[in-house]
Amino acid sequence: MKADVLVVGGGLAATWTALAAAQAGGDVVLVDKGYCGTSGVTATAGVTHWFVEPEHHERAVAERHAHAGGIADAEQALRVLRTTWERLPTLDRYYPFPVRDGKPDRTNNVRGPEYLRAMRGLVHRAGVRILDHHPALELLVRPDGSVGGAAGIRRQAGGHWQVHAGAVVLATGGTAFRSHLLGSRGNTGDGHLMAVEAGARLSGMEFSNYYTLAPAFSTMARSMTYLFGTYTDADGRVIELPSGPDRNRVLGAAMLRGPVFTTLDRTPEWVRRKMPVVQPNFLLPFTRRGIDPYTQPFEVTLLGEGTIRGVGGLAVAAPDCATGVPGLFAAGDVASRVPVVGAISGGGSPNSAWAVSSGTWAGRAAVRYARSTTPSPVRPIGRAGIRPSGPPSEVDTAAVIDVVRAELNAYDKNMFRDEPGLRRSLSTLDCLWTEVESALTGEGRDAVTARETASLVAVGRWVKEAALRRRETLGTHWRTDRQEAAA
């Protein structure tokens, strides 16, 4: 197929990107590993937006950047707020926002499944060609090194696909390194690896160790209700929790000593009433086990969110989310959000606003770039997991992924960091990379597994390398051997 713009991904950022590109007059194709509108972490969440009245923009940025570690860009954050304020009302006709004080409340109460269903409808009506179950495996480049499309396989119909495009926008999401975070299984860092193969750079990968609470017996990790819990350790002692990012570190330290339990007994009545509306699936795991989480204790765990609520990703330049590789743009969680939120998590409302705004910028810019290109031959550039450097041989991908999960999610290896531990993890991942890069390949659906495995190892290595290079504690990057914060 041919198009002006190819969007790779099917979640929140991808749909906003495709919509913006189509509205700018582009002929757009969107390819999704799954089914556009149900893919990724937004489809399982109750979504909030950083949606602020214009007269309060500067104050909102100042309040958030007070905790950003001094590495955020206030102007970029202001652009996010301005664009989100402009674009989000596009949904008013298609999503039933609740009304508060006579106005749609676009900040809260947005149910992920319905939100993405509305976005798929908008994209479809805008004329975008949607190819579901078409995972992308690699980028295509022109002789001058610019990106001119992508290629992959057709999960259901069989065979392969190629889209030759004037520009490509990666909106493939972040990765939770198969932590079992709800909705994240397909988020394996494919876009990161494809972009780096083309020459793109990364930023903020050390800030990729955010964790979120969930029942120990479930992956249902989407609830602010855990803020209202009373936590006890294995000996029944109440755990005193600070506010802010140190909260999860205190819980993680307690979990390394033994099981931790909570009762959500301090949850306000208005939150209890709202929860079934915003996140109808939150109570299901408890109901099935006969537990009332508001009155009865249950064991909890921390699930890694990697680069999803962490902020590391492809370095993109303002104002158009260009990656530095001609013809290649990035939007959403695949891109670094360090300029927007700094060294702290962008989880929740900033990430949603970033998906809206970065998708808008990248979609429009991709159309402008595509109009400046002329047809040219392209070649595929995928390597690890596709074209091994040595003789192909059998690689136990399940075992490789298990090691990645352990190195990138274990609290003592990833939440609490020191130089010896980081070097051990990096050495382990380097050995895996040597095996994967030299021998791993696959055909058909096995090709997707091979590429996902290679991507998980690659992104894991980049996280550990970045964490080694930032020698001070900053934001979510916690060095137990160097706890002093940066000046």
Report the run of H or E that residue 116 belongs to, with start and end.
Answer: helix 112-125
Q: How far apart are CA 473 and CA 481, in angstroms?
A: 9
Q: How far apart are CA 82 and CA 353, in angstroms?
A: 10
| Spans in the chain with pLDDT lower than 70 | 109, 483-487
The SS3 assignment for 152 reads strand
Q: How many residues does the chain have?
A: 487
* Contacts of residue 358, Cβ cutoff 8 Å, sequence gap at least 6: 13, 17, 80, 316, 321, 330, 331, 332, 335
Tell me the CA distances in angstroms from 460 to 37, 147, 251, 341, 467, one per residue in order: 27, 25, 24, 22, 11
Report the run of H or E that residue 165 belongs to, with start and end.
Answer: strand 160-170
Q: How far apart are CA 300 and CA 313, in angstroms?
A: 29
CA angle 133, 139, 142 (to 5 degrees): 140
Whether the CB-CB separation of 39 and 312 falls below 8 Å is answered with no
Q: What's the chain's Rg over C-alpha atoms?
A: 22
Tell me the CA distances in angstroms from 212 to 29, 228, 312, 349, 427, one per residue in order: 34, 14, 17, 15, 27
Whether the CB-CB separation of 370 and 166 falls below 8 Å is answered with yes
Give the residue among 214, 258, 216, 212 at the shortest CA–CA distance from 236: 258
Report the run of H or E that residue 170 belongs to, with start and end.
Answer: strand 160-170
* Contacts of residue 86, Cβ cutoff 8 Å, sequence gap at least 6: none
Q: How far apart are CA 266 and CA 97, in angstroms?
A: 28
User: If you search the block for the tokens 């609740």, which residue do you land on?
Assistant: 98
Bridge partner list, 172: none
The SS3 assignment for 273 reads helix
The number of C-alpha atoms within 13 Å of 112 and in the hemisphere containing its C-beta is 25
Terminal-to-terminal C-alpha distance of the chain: 52
Greatest alpha-carbon span in the chain = 69
Provide the total of helices (H) and of strands (E) in the chain, helices listed first. Answer: 14, 18
Report the run of H or E that residue 472 belongs to, with start and end.
Answer: none
Pairing of strands 379-380, 136-141: antiparallel
Angle between helices 445-469 and 419-439 (to 10 degrees): 150
Q: What is this structure's pTM?
A: 0.96
- Count the Cβ atoms, other than its own, within 10 Å of residue 271: 17
- Looking at residue 109, its pLDDT comes to 67
Q: How far apart are CA 477 and CA 479, in angstroms?
A: 7
Whether the CB-CB separation of 32 and 134 falls below 8 Å is answered with yes
Whether the CB-CB separation of 6 and 351 falls below 8 Å is answered with no
Q: How far apart are CA 258 and CA 242, in angstroms?
A: 20
User: If you search the block for the tokens 């499944």, which residue do you land on?
Assistant: 113
- Looking at residue 487, its pLDDT comes to 41
